[in-house]
Amino acid sequence: MKKQTPFPYEFFVVTFLWSWLIWLPQVLVGFGIFPLEGAFFQKISIPITILAAFGPAVGAFYCLRKYEGKGAVASYLRSFLDFRLGWRAWWAPIIILGGSTY
- Under DSSP, is residue 71 helix (H, G, I), strand (E, B) or coil? coil
- What one-letter code names the amino acid at 22? I
Q: Which class for 14: exposed (0-12), middle (13-18), buried (19 or more C-beta within 10 A)? A: buried
* pLDDT at residue 55, as a whole number: 95
* pLDDT at residue 2, as a whole number: 58
Dihedral, CA of residue 39, residue 44, residue 47 and residue 52, to nearest 10: -130
Per-residue pLDDT of the chain (102 residues; tens, 9 = 90+): 456 667 788 899 999 999 999 999 888 988 888 888 878 888 888 999 999 999 999 999 999 998 888 999 999 888 877 777 777 777 888 888 887 776
| CB of 14 closer than 8 Å to CB of 62 | yes
**Farthest-apart Cα atoms in the chain, separation:** 60
| Among candidate residues 57, 47, 3, 59, the one with its CA nearest the CA of residue 22 | 47
- What one-letter code names the amino acid at 49? T
